[in-house]
Structure 1
Amino acid sequence: MDRSAGNSTLDDAAWVDDVLLAGPSTDVCFRLPEPVDRGTLRRLVGEAQARLAEGGLRPGGAAALRLPPSLAYVVNLLATWRSGAQAILLDHRLTDHEVERALERLTPQVVVAPVRSGPGALKVFVDVTEGITAHSDRPAGSSHAVIQLSSGSTGPSKVIGRSAASLVAEVRRYTRIDGVALPGERIILLPSMVHVLGLVGGLLYGLHARITLVAPDRLSGDAVLAAVAADDSPATVLGVPFHIGLLASTRSAGPLPQLRRMTTGGELVPAAVVAAFTDRFGVPLGNMYGMTEVGVIGTDLYGRHRPAIAPAPGIEVRESATGELWVSCPESPYVGLSDPDRWSDGWLHTRDAGTVDPDTGLVAVRGRLDSQVSVGGMKVDLTEVEATLAGLPGVGAAVVVYDAGITAYVQPDGPLSEEVLEKLIAERLAGYKRPRTLHLLDRLPRTITGKLVRSTEALRAAAP
C-alpha cells in the first residue's frame, strides 16, 4: 500500500511507523537538551499507547491533548495516531473556558493534560508528567487525523481538520523545497508544535527526514545562539517574527558557521528587520506563507523574491477575479462548517489579497482582502498604511483597520507621543491615507501564536 498516495485513514495507523518513526534506533531525533534516540522514542510511544487504551481511547476515537511543548506532547501525539485515533490539539495557553467550549463541541474520548510540570518560565520544552482523563464514549466526529483551532487573528477560531494523507503529503512536500534542513542537520525549533509551522515544518518533517530537533534551554536570543553553537552540524532556526526580535536582542554573537538560515512563518517581516538580521548574522532570512487549513503554501527561503514567494511543490495558487488568492485543497478542511466563501470546488479561499505573476508563477501576498477601502473616492490599501507605521522610528508594532475611518493602533518601542507620530506619518503618507484616529497602546493584543489581532472589537477593547 502506498501510504503517500492519499490512502491513510484513522483505521490505517501504520503511516506513523512508515513515515515518522522509521530509521536506525541509535539516530538522535531530539536534543532537549538530553538526546532522545529513535529507539527510545518508539518505546515511549508504545508505552503511551497502552496508557491511552487503558484510559479509554479506542481506534476511531479522539484524544484531546492539552500539553505544553514537551516530550510528553510528542509521545502522546504519535501514540494517539498510532492507536488509529484522532488528535485534537489544544494550545496549553487557552483558558479553561475556551477548552471547555472546545471539548463540548468535539467530545474526545480522553483528555491528556499535565498533572505535574517542572520549572517552565521561558522554557521552550517543559518537563511534564501527564494524566489521562476519560471524557466521553463517542467516536471521533470526523475521519481527520488531527483537529486544530485557527488562531483567530481576525475573528472567532475555526475548527480545522486534516487527514493523515494530507499530513503525509505535506511532509513529503517539504522534502522537495529547496533550502529546508537536510538529513543529518539540525532544526532549532521555536514555534509551537500545536500549530502548523511547528507541527509539520518542524516536528513531522524533522522525524521523517531524520533531522535532529533541538529545543534551546530557554526562550532567549542568547540561548538560541548557544543551541546553534552547541554542535558542529548545520542548523536552521525555525520560528516566527517574534523570534527574530529575540535574536536581535543579543548583545554579541561571535562567528556561527553552523547557522545556515532562519526561516519564519506568520506575518511578513518588514524590510528593515530583514536587512538588520542578514547584516548581523550573514545568512538568509527565509519566509514561509501557509495556513492551518493546508500547511505550507509557498516559500522564499533564500530571500530572493521578497516579498513574493514561490508556490510549494504540488500546490497551485490562483488569483480570483476579485483579487483574492485561492489555494488548491481537494477537500474542505472545515469541521461542521459549510461555507462556499471559504472553500468550494477544490479551492481554499484564503481571504488574502494578492497577485500571481503569469510569467514566473511567483505569488505576492498583499494582505487581507478586506484591507482595501475607499476614502473620499480614493482607494487606500490599509496594508500599505500599516507597513508605513510599523517602519517608523519609535514604533514597535502597528495594526491599521477601517472603523468609521482609518484607525491605527500603535505599540511604541520607547518614548513616543501622538504629536511626534502624526508628524512622522504626515512626512510619509498622503493626507487621504493618514489615520483619522490614533491609539497608543502599551501592548497590542496578539493571538496565542503571537500574531497581531486585527479584530476591530478586540482592538477597541484594548484601547485606553
Structure 2
Amino acid sequence: MTVDADASAFERWLVSVLADDTRTEEVWGHGEQEVTFGRMRQETARVRGVLAAHGIGRGSTVAVQLLPSFTLLWTLFAAWSAGAQVLLMDPRLTAAETTRLLDLCEPQFHLAVDGPVPALVTFRDECEIVVLTHRSGRSAATGHRLVQFSSGSTGLPKVIGRTGDSLLAELDRFGRLPDMPRRGERLLLLSSVTYSFGLIGGVLHALRGGVCLHFSGSPQPRDLLRVLAERRIDAVFGVPVHFDLLSRVGRPGDLPALRLAVSGGETLPAEVFRRFEEVHGVRIGQAYGMTEAGIIATDLAGRHAPPAVGRPAPGMRTEVVGGTLRVWLPQDPYLHADREGRYREGWLNTHDRCLARPDDGVLEIHGRADSTVVIGGLNVDLTEVESVVLQHPAVTEAVVVYGDAIEAHLVADDSLTRGALLDWCRARLGPHKVPKALHFVRKLPRTANGKPIRNRELLHAGREKERQVIIR
C-alpha cells in the first residue's frame, strides 16, 4: 500500500500504520470473533481494491452510511488510504434525512446498507455494502478528510469538515492524556463510531496506541457486564445510559480488571456517577467535546463530580464569555454557510453554559444556551423537530420543548390523531428525534409581544388552566 506526493499527513500516517507487517496482535474483538492486525490489513486492502474498481480514489467524495461493524471500520481505512474524502453518515437516518444530506453535499459515491436497517442497530461482524454512484456528484474541493453532520438551531444540518491535520492534532491530544487506554490494554467501546469520540478517541487512538478494541452486539446490561468480566476489560467508553444500566447490575468486585470508565456525548447525571462508583468501585470520568472541535476538556479518571467535565485538553484554548464557553479553532469548521454565526475571528461558540473554576481551571457545564439538546449521545435540534410537526397539514401551531423527553405542544384540527402525527414524524425524523409526548391544546400561550412561550413549566401550567376551563 503506497501513497503519492499529494497525500495528507493523516493519510501518510494511516498508510504507514497499515503497512507495518510486524504487528500481529489482536486489534478488534466481538463475541467469539477476533480480528488480528494482519486480517485488518488484508481486509482494508481488499476493500480498497473494490473501491478502486468503482472509480473511488484521490479526491473522490464518498458518503459512508454503514451499520456498526468491522466492515465499516476497514471501509473507512480503505477510503482514507485511497485519498478519498469521507462523509460519515448515521445508518439510523430516515430516507428523507439521508436524501437531504446527499442533496446538500453532492458526494460522488454513497456506500449504503444492502437492505433495510434494523430497528435496533447494534454492532455486528460484517455487513453487506451497496456502492451507489451519483453522476452529478462533485469531487472534493477542500482538503478535509472527514465530513460529519450535527443539528443546528436553524433546523438545518450543520456540515462539519475535519482536515487531516485536525484529526492528527486531536489524536495527539488524546495521546498526551496519561489516563487514556494504553498499549496492551483492552477497551470496550460502546460509543458510536459514527461520531467523534468513538471514532477518534476510540478507534483511531486504539490503532495508534496498540489498544485492543472490543465491541458488544447486545445493549443489555447483563450482556455488557459479562463482556467486561470475561474479557477482563481495562476501560469502557460509553454514554450515560450505558453507565446507568451497568450501575443497576453486578456486585462490588465483579470487575477487578476495570480501571477506567469514561462517559461522553451528553451530561452525566450525578446520581449515575455516584451509583456506578458504589457498585463497581470506579469513578466515571468524562470526555467533553463537540463535532466541530473534537475533544475539548477531560476528567478521564472522574476526579471531579458532575457538572465538572475537567480541564481543557492539551493544546486546547478556551474562554468563557457571558457565561458561555468558546474554543479556539484555526479555521472555520463549517463547509457550508455558518447560518448561526457561531464561528467568528477564530473562536467557536459552543452554546454551552459554562463556569471555569478559578482555583483549578476545571470547567463546569450547566446546560445549553440554544435549542440543541443531547439524547443518547446524539445532538437533537428542537427547531428541526418543531419544523417537521408544523409541516403536517392539520397542524396550525407547535412548540417543541425538552424535559425528561422531547414533547410537542400543538394546535391542530380535531381530525388529527396522536398515532397519525407520530407516523408523520417517524417518516421524517430519526427515532431519537421523534417526540415522546404530544399535547393537543386549543391555543398556545404567548409573550406580550406575541412570541410563543417556550418554557416547559409555563406550557404545562397553561394546559392545566385550559383543562380547568374545559371542565367548567
TM tier relative to shorter chain: 0.7 to 0.9
Letter in structure 2 aligned against 1:94: L
Conserved? CA contact 1:196–1:291, under 8 Å: yes
Structure 1 gap segments, 5+ residues each:
1-6, 372-382, 384-398, 413-441
Structure 1 segment 8-19 matched on structure 2, within 5 A? 13-18=11-16
Residues 205-239 of structure 1: CA deviation (Å, up to 9, x unaligned):
1111111110124111112111112234x521110
- Aligned twin of 1:73: 72
> Do residues 409 (structure 1) and 407 (structure 2) align?
no
- Aligned twin of 1:283: 282
- Aligned twin of 2:303: 304
Q: What count of residue pairs does the alignment treat as equivalent?
A: 393
Conserved? CA contact 1:148–1:161, under 8 Å: yes
Letter in structure 2 aligned against 1:314: G
SS at match of 1:91: coil
- Aligned twin of 2:221: 221
- Aligned twin of 1:362: 362
- Aligned twin of 1:162: 162
- Aligned twin of 1:109: 108
Alpha-carbon distance in 2 for matches of 1:19, 1:362: 35
- Aligned twin of 1:323: 323
Conserved? CA contact 1:106–1:141, under 8 Å: no
- Aligned twin of 2:385: none
Conserved? CA contact 2:325–2:354, under 8 Å: yes
SS at match of 1:145: strand
Residues 300-336 of structure 1: CA deviation (Å, up to 9, x unaligned):
122222322111111111112x222111211111011
Conserved? CA contact 2:354–2:366, under 8 Å: yes
Q: 1:277 to 1:92 in 2, by over 3 A?
A: same
SS at match of 1:355: strand
Alpha-carbon distance in 2 for matches of 1:54, 1:70: 23
Letter in structure 2 aligned against 1:362: V
> Do residues 129 (structure 1) and 123 (structure 2) align?
no
**How far did residue 79 of structure 1 move?**
0.7
Structure 2 gap segments, 5+ residues each:
374-381, 383-396, 407-421, 437-452, 464-472
Q: 1:115 to 1:406 in 2, by over 3 A?
A: closer
**How far did residue 252 of structure 1 move?**
5.4
- Aligned twin of 2:349: 349
Conserved? CA contact 1:56–1:134, under 8 Å: no
Structure 1 segment 228-267 matched on structure 2, within 5 A? 228-232=228-232, 234-250=233-249, 255-267=254-266
Alpha-carbon distance in 1 for matches of 2:317, 2:46: 41
Alpha-carbon distance in 1 for matches of 2:277, 2:30: 28
Alpha-carbon distance in 2 for matches of 1:262, 1:327: 26
SS at match of 1:80: helix
TM norm structure 1: 0.75
Q: 1:25 to 1:303 in 2, by over 3 A?
A: closer
**How far did residue 121 of structure 1 move?**
4.8
Residues 95-148 of structure 1: CA deviation (Å, up to 9, x unaligned):
111111111121222111122699885633353121212113531243210110
The percentage of counterpart residues that share the same residue type is 34
Conserved? CA contact 1:277–1:285, under 8 Å: yes
- Aligned twin of 1:28: 26
Mean Cα deviation higher: 107-116 or 92-101: 107-116
**How far did residue 193 of structure 1 move?**
0.6
> Do residues 83 (structure 1) and 82 (structure 2) align?
yes
- Aligned twin of 2:99: 100
Q: 1:254 to 1:30 in 2, by over 3 A?
A: same
Conserved? CA contact 2:239–2:265, under 8 Å: yes
Alpha-carbon distance in 2 for matches of 1:278, 1:237: 14
TM norm structure 2: 0.74
SS at match of 1:332: coil
Alpha-carbon distance in 2 for matches of 1:126, 1:163: 29
Computed over aligned residues only, the root mean square deviation of the Cα atoms, in angstroms, reads: 3.7
Alpha-carbon distance in 2 for matches of 1:201, 1:21: 22
Conserved? CA contact 2:351–2:369, under 8 Å: yes
Alpha-carbon distance in 2 for matches of 1:410, 1:248: 20
Alpha-carbon distance in 2 for matches of 1:299, 1:228: 23
Conserved? CA contact 1:11–1:60, under 8 Å: no
Residues 42-78 of structure 1: CA deviation (Å, up to 9, x unaligned):
1111111111111121311111111010111111111
- Aligned twin of 2:205: 205
Alpha-carbon distance in 2 for matches of 1:284, 1:23: 38
Residues 22-57 of structure 1: CA deviation (Å, up to 9, x unaligned):
473311110023111111111111111111111121
Alpha-carbon distance in 2 for matches of 1:325, 1:8: 37
SS at match of 2:114: strand
SS at match of 1:150: strand
Q: 1:103 to 1:141 in 2, by over 3 A?
A: farther
- Aligned twin of 1:394: none
Conserved? CA contact 1:116–1:130, under 8 Å: no
Letter in structure 2 aligned against 1:302: A
Alpha-carbon distance in 2 for matches of 1:275, 1:238: 17
Q: 1:120 to 1:25 in 2, by over 3 A?
A: farther
Mean Cα deviation higher: 293-302 or 113-122: 113-122
Q: 1:451 to 1:292 in 2, by over 3 A?
A: farther
Letter in structure 2 aligned against 1:211: V
SS at match of 2:147: strand
Alpha-carbon distance in 2 for matches of 1:411, 1:113: 30
Residues 249-279 of structure 1: CA deviation (Å, up to 9, x unaligned):
4365762111112110122212122111110
SS at match of 2:265: coil
Q: 1:102 to 1:357 in 2, by over 3 A?
A: same
